[in-house]
Chain A
Amino acid sequence: NAGVTQTPKFQVLKTGQSMTLQCAQDMNHEYMSWYRQDPGMGLRLIHYSVGAGITDQGEVPNGYNVSRSTTEDFPLRLLSAAPSQTSVYFCASSYVLAGRTGELFFGEGSRLTVL
C-alpha cells in the first residue's frame, strides 16, 4: 500500500534550471495538492486539483506549473528555479465529500535547494 509517493526526496539545483517533482497516489483520490513548507511559515498551498484535467492556483503559485492528466499523478514543475524556491515540498491527496476535502494523505516530502 504505497499511498502518496514523491520523488526525488532531495534535489540541488542551480538558479535558472528547471525540474519536475513527481507525485503519485494509488488511493483513487480526486483531490491532490502541493504545499511548500518554510521555517516559521507553516504549509502554504502552491497548486491543487479536484480531478483529472482540473487545476487551480493556491496561495503561492508563481514560478510553478502543474498538470493533472490522470487521477493518479500530479507533477509540479519549477520553470526557472530561484533561491527563494529553496524549501521542503509536500504532495498530498484526499477524497472530496460534499464539496469539502477530507483528511490529507501526505507524501514524505522533497527537500529542494536552489543555489
Chain B
Amino acid sequence: AQKVTQAQTEISVVEKEDVTLDCVYETRDTTYYLFWYKQPPSGELVFLIRRNSFDEQNEISGRYSWNFQKSTSSFNFTITASQVVDSAVYFCALSGTASGSRLTFGEGTQLTVNP
C-alpha cells in the first residue's frame, strides 16, 4: 500500500516569511510520481508540480521550490517570501504502479499567511 503523510495540519506565518510544507511518503514501487496541489478558499484544486522518482533534482518556480529526497522519502515544498494569496490548503500526492494507478493524497496542510 502507498501512503502520504503531511504532519503539519495548520501553519500560520506573517507575510514575507519563508515557509516549508513537509511531505513524507511510503511506497513499494521503484518508480512513481509525486505531486503537489493547492486548494485556495474558492475550493478548486490547482496542480502545482509533478516529480518523477528518477529525478531528484530540486525544482524552483518563482517563489516556489521543491526538495525531493529519496533517501528520506520526502518531497517538501517551500514558499519564499510568502504572500496573503498563498493562503490555501496544500496537498501532497503519490502515484505508483503497485496500487493500480491510484493517486493517494495526504491529509493536507492549511497555510494561513497573515498581513
Contact = CB atoms under 8 A, between A and B. Distances in A.
A and B bound?
yes
A43 interface: yes
A39 to B, nearest CB: 10
A41 B47 contact: no
Contacts of B32: 100
Interface in B30-50: 31-33, 35, 37, 43-45, 47, 50
A83 to B, nearest CB: 21
Given A88-B43, A108-B44, A101 B33 contact: yes
A101 B43 contact: no
A56 interface: yes
B43 A108 contact: yes
A43 B105 contact: yes
Query: Do most interface residues of chain A lie in helix, strand or loop, or is the interface mixed?
Result: strand
Contact of A104 (B44, B47, B106, B108): B47
A50 B108 contact: no
Contacts of B62: none
A48 B44 contact: no
B95 A100 contact: yes
Nearest to B92: A42
Interface of A: 31, 33, 35, 40-45, 48, 50, 56, 58, 88, 90, 92, 94, 96, 98-106, 108-109
Interface of B: 9, 31-33, 35, 37, 43-45, 47, 50, 91, 93, 95-97, 100-108
Given A42-B106, A92-B103, A103-B47, 14 more contacts: A31-B101, A42-B105, A42-B108, A50-B100, A56-B100, A90-B45, A96-B101, A100-B96, A101-B101, A101-B103, A104-B37, A104-B45, A104-B47, A108-B44
